[in-house]
Copies of this chain bind each other. A is one copy, B any other.
């Protein structure tokens, strides 16, 4: 029986995630349900897209990921199931899947998508405020039971095109783009520890930077001005406690941190801040 993961902005005070698990247990009693994150800021599709992108690869083939960050619930946005890389992603089409879809498409993966319209696989009646319970959890549970996704609703094509819904909204504005300057990007995520993760892939930097990482200068346009750090270093402890450090984070992306403290708070860095890697060495 496949694993079902759940990523939401539900917090832990209202029982919303528990209800999803109750619904899943009723339909797919032997499934394994794993929480990924529930303290995503309310309605923050960019945060959810980042967390999902960093998590899904560590789950076995067949895993079904539910992502419910859904401020548009009950409105015109569609409810989707997407299949790619041997996994399913079940979520609203508001951009929470944009990064995963973009990466999989970029890697040449075949992607398929369905709109979760068939009433047979929803709770009845469907509320206008809690589709996690009424649409997404049942869909994920039926997929775990092995249903053919074509049963869940019509197959979509346009959603997965370069300009389709899944390239979505706020997320799209932050993701790496073909036209980006080499070694340039943006802060895409601030984690619990205040580490600032960027869209810049270390493995994608120009060869001379990768070969001589200690000579790279990293510039961050924070709201307090430009911050320059010299050298891509190895670990948080490569600098003294309280000092800033640029390094390769656990997902292969350039990360700005402070040894033992919050870089976001200390350096006034925010999501969306521009970041560049430069060859110019300061003297």
Chain A interface (Cβ < 8 Å from any Cβ of B): 3, 5, 7, 9-19, 21-23, 25-26, 29, 32-43, 47, 51-52, 54-55, 58-60, 63, 71-76, 127-130, 133-134, 189, 191-193, 195, 234-237, 247-250, 255, 257, 260
Of B11, B74, B235, the contact of A128 (CB 8 Å cutoff): B235
Q: What residue of chain B has the Cβ atom nearest to residue A11's Cβ?
A: B192
Of all A-B residue pairs in the complex, the 10 with the closest CB atoms, nearest first, are: A74-B235, A75-B237, A18-B36, A130-B250, A22-B58, A11-B192, A12-B39, A22-B59, A13-B39, A128-B235
Query: Given contacts A128-B235, A133-B58, are A192 and B23 in contact (CB under 8 A)?
Result: no
In the complex, the answer to whether A26 meets B74 with C-beta atoms within 8 Å is no
The answer to whether A129 touches B37 (Cβ under 8 A) is no
26 A-B contacts (beta carbon < 8 Å): A7-B18, A10-B192, A11-B39, A12-B12, A12-B38, A13-B39, A14-B54, A15-B52, A18-B34, A18-B35, A18-B37, A19-B36, A19-B55, A22-B34, A22-B55, A29-B60, A33-B34, A42-B192, A43-B260, A58-B133, A71-B260, A74-B236, A74-B237, A127-B248, A129-B195, A134-B250
> In the docked arrangement, what's the CA distance between A134 and B195, Å?
19
Decide: A234 and B60 in contact? CB cutoff 8 A: no
In whole angstroms, what is the CA distance A274 to B49 when docked? 40
Per the bound structure, the CA–CA distance linking A157 and B275 in Å amounts to 47
Residue numbers in B under 8 Å from A33 (CB-CB): 34
User: How long is the Cα–Cα vector from A109 to B250 in the complex, in angstroms?
Assistant: 37
Q: Is the CB of B235 within 8 A of A59?
A: no
